[in-house]
Amino acid sequence: MHSYGNRMGNLLTVAALSLGAICAMASLCDHLHVPSPSAHAQVLKISRFRKHRSGDDEVGLELNVSANLQSTFTWNTKQVFLFVAAEYETPKNSINQISLWDRIIPAKEYADFSIHIKNKYRFTDQGNNLQGKEFNLTLCWQVMPKSGRMFADKIVMTRYRLPDKYQ
């Protein structure tokens, strides 16, 4: 003999269970797509290293950037923003990050490329902090969705070093 209260309890349990299952499926679908991007960046040449008229150190670089970020594109991807930055330490700041180059990838068909570039933004440091300075090259991509949360990832190429003397 089931009491009314008991039946109500069972119905609620079933409802709660199926709601849970729907939530689990939705988030599963979110995670089913596992991107497998590949990317690489490399300093080919320090083309300029001098003290600027302002007194700041200035670096000119040539880079090789290759990436295949096609797998980050889904129906929900608006665009991917890619940038390359130099990271180094100075006594004043433990991490200095200088953006050297960036690109907006508007669609999957543009997401597989290999290019030889010069720094698009100035690589400078106040004073003369950069002689013999070790730096890392970071290649970072931000996947911007049409809706939902942004996703970002990066790779770091370590142990580059600037010359001891100006050129």
Ligand X SMILES: *[C@@H]1O[C@H](CO)[C@@H](O)[C@H](O)[C@H]1NC(C)=O
Q: Site residues for ligand X, window 42-81 (CB under 6 A)?
A: 44, 64, 66
Instruction: Report strand pairing: 134-145 vs 151-161.
Output: antiparallel
**H, E, C per residue of 13-37:** HHHHHHHHHHHHHHHHHHHHCCCCC
- Interface segment toward ligand X; rule CB under 6 A; list 12-20, 52-60, 71-79, 82-90: 82-90
Q: How many residues bind ligand X (CB under 6 A)?
A: 13
| 112 contacts ligand X (rule: CB under 6 A) | no
Considering only 6, 38, 47, 114, the residue that binds ligand X (CB under 6 A) is 114
Given its phi and psi angles, is residue 148 left (phi above 0), alpha (psi -120 to 50 degrees) or beta? left
Residue labelled with tokens 């970002």: 152
Residue nearer to ligand X on the CB measure, 77 or 88: 88
Q: Report, in Å, the least distance between residue 62 CB and ligand X.
A: 9
8 Å CB contact between 129 and 90: yes
Residues that bind ligand X (CB under 6 A): 40, 44, 64, 66, 87-89, 95, 114, 116, 136, 156, 158
